[in-house]
Amino acid sequence: MAYEEPVTDYDKIVENCTCAFCGSNCDDVDILVKDNHVVGVRHACRLGASKIMEDEDQRLTVPMVRDENGELVEVDWDTALDKAAELIAGSVRPVFYGWSETSIEAMKPGLELTELVGAVIDNQATICHGPTVQAVQNVGYPLMTLGEVKNRADMVVYTGSNPMNAHPRHLSRYTTIPKGWFRKRGRFDRTLVTWDPKYSDTAKLSDIWVPFEENGDYAFCNAIRAVLKGKKLKQDVISGIPKEDIYELTEKMKKAQFGALFFGLGLTHTLSKQRNIDIAIQLVQDLNKYTKWVLLPMRGHFNVNGFNIFMSYEMGFPYGVDFSRGYPRYMIGETTTIDLLNREECDVFMVIAADPGAHFPGGALAHLANIPVIQIDIHWGPSTELADVVLPGTFIGVETAGTSYRMDSVPIFMKKAIDPPETCREDEWIVNELLQRVKKLREASK
């Protein structure tokens, strides 16, 4: 990229803001503000900076409702909220999806609303790390905090994820590059390993790259487990990797003083789904017979883990919780969003702080074209093209303060840097307002 002049024309710097992009939740970001506008960002990565320096052309600024011609028309807040509340109160099987890019504070009234109308509440984990949560329930969770990795780890393995593209500061802030208490020389004291079929941007930086075949992760992890248990490998090549290399890698992993395995959607999106993660977790458990190993899923949104923690704490289930019978139920493949859409079961879909239009498979989105969709978001995105009621929210971490959970389950309070646009409302306020209006409608119909 071309050289850019540093930003010098600003009124104030708001220091130590938390980046509201990925699960790394970098809390050292400085935001440069002029006339209540963000003019620059320091310390953030390309992704974080681009999110904070948002595209104002596409900012949702006013509530909108579709007219009979299928065109969005600006309305006042009362009209839009009444319309949304009417849709929710009149629905039989509503789904409230999203929540991962908003604060824990907004989830509270959301859960109350879900209970009141007997809806399904679900978040983005359903399309990303859902299988991870299932595997954790199957075989356990050898978890750590990222600070432990920074200070202790001498071997870091990434599999099925490409942090240089999805979590750009993960290596430099938490795992590989920083100097730690027991790793005084930083990068030079650590071995970076990538298991990925592609020569990804992370693989290019790694000391060891293991290019197993597509869908070969299950067999490969099992082969390492077999070697760890003292078995001889019968095949010469497993998942495209010669057995000698597997012996060598296993030996290196046994000899590490502190190893950390990070895995991403490459494992959860292939056909073996949660079974891949089962094996990865059991591999870490087996390694602990020899030395200290830990593992962590690379969570995508800054608060996707927060929703799972919040729901587990409040309701006992992490995601895809169904209240249609008046009590919480959780049944993977039954009460999860994609399955509900595939079966064309839901009749009103509310999306808050998420973009199913950009991230759901077409087969599931096809049902959103048949039913009313309520959108609470900050930008005009693919979901807006399918939305019937649009309620503009505010930007958590820049315009509104709130709590979020980092990928290693550390809660972080995100402060605000500027005031939100006058016509927008906080997510918490919007959801609370919907709750009150639905309550009123319910009472009136009794």
Partner 1 sequence: MTYIEKPSISNVVKFEDPDVAKVERLTVMLNTGTDIYQGACKKRGSTLKDEYRKVAGVCYMDPKDMAKLGVGNWESVLVKSDWGEVVCYAAHSRDAPHEGMIFIPKGPWANVVVSPETYCCSDPTYKGIEATVEKTDKEVLLMADLMRDVYKKYVKEGEKTEELPSLGEMPVYKKIARSK
- Of 364, 389, 407, 414, which lies in the binding site for partner 1, with binding defined by CB under 8 A? 364
Site for partner 1 in 54-73 (CB under 8 A): 54-55, 57-59, 62, 64, 66-67, 70-73
Indicate which single residue of 310, 323, 349, 360 sits in contact with partner 1 (rule: CB under 8 A): 360
Q: Which is nearer to partner 1, 227 or 389 (CB)?
A: 389
For residues 383 and 50, give the distance between their C-alpha atoms in angstroms, rounded to a whole number. 20
CB atoms within 10 A of CB 72: 18
What's the closest the beta carbon of residue 207 comes to partner 1, in angstroms?
18
CB of 91 to partner 1, least distance (A): 18
Give the separation between CA 137 and CA 62, rounded to whole angstroms: 42
Q: In whole angstroms, what separates CA 345 from the centre of its chain?
A: 25
List binders of partner 1 among 285-324 (CB under 8 A).
300, 319-320
Q: CB of 441: closest distance to partner 1 in angstroms?
A: 25
The reply to whether 50 sits near partner 1 by the rule CB under 8 A is: yes
Nearest-angstrom CA–CA distance, 216 and 218: 6
CA nearest neighbour of 25 among 411, 427, 296, 419: 411
3-state helix, strand and coil shares in percent for the chain, rounded to the nearest 5 = 40, 20, 40
Question: Per the structure block, which two tokens stand in for 306?
Answer: 């927060």
* Angle in degrees, CA 118, 120, 125, rounded to 5: 160
Nearer to partner 1, 44 or 430 (CB): 44
How many residues interact with partner 1 (rule CB under 8 A)? Answer: 84
- Options 208, 365, 401, 418; binder of partner 1; rule CB under 8 A: 365
Contacts of 208 (CB under 8 A, 6+ apart): 191, 192, 193, 194, 249, 252
- 248-277 residues in contact with partner 1 (CB under 8 A) are 265-266, 268-271, 273-274
Residue 403 CB burial class (10 angstroms; 0-12, 13-18, ≥19): middle
Q: What residues numbered 187-226 form the site for partner 1, per CB under 8 A?
A: 197-201, 203, 214-215
| Complex with partner 1: residue 6 or 362, whichever CB lies closer | 362
Which region, judged by CB under 8 A, interacts with partner 1, from 92-100, 232-240, 249-257, 352-360?
Answer: 352-360
Q: Which of 151, 132, 152 is nearest to 142 (CA)?
A: 132
Nearer to partner 1, 342 or 409 (CB): 342
359 binds partner 1 (CB under 8 A): yes
For the segment 82-101, give every residue that binds partner 1 (CB under 8 A).
none
Is residue 17 within 8 A of residue 415, CB to CB? The reply is yes
Q: Identify the residue among 15, 74, 244, 245 touching partner 1 (CB under 8 A).
A: 74
Kindly tell me which of 39 and 401 has the beta carbon lying closer to partner 1. Answer: 39
Q: Rounded to an integer, what distance in angstroms lies between the CA atom of residue 306 and that of residue 413?
A: 12
Instruction: Rank residues 209 and 290 by Cβ distance to partner 1 and give the closer one.
Output: 209
Q: Please, what is the angle between helix 104-117 and helix 427-445, to 10°? A: 20
Q: Is 165 in the site for partner 1 (CB under 8 A)?
A: yes
Least Cβ distance, residue 264 to partner 1 (angstroms): 8
Contacts of 366 (CB under 8 A, 6+ apart): none
Give the residue from 278, 273, 275, 230 showing the smallest Cα distance to 250: 230
Nearest CB to partner 1, comparing residues 287 and 376: 376
Task: Please identify, using beta-carbon distances, which residue of 164 and 253 lies nearer to partner 1.
Answer: 164
Amino acid at 395: F
Instruction: By CB under 8 A, tell whether 444 contacts partner 1.
Output: no
For partner 1, the binding residue among 10, 33, 34, 53 (CB under 8 A) is 53
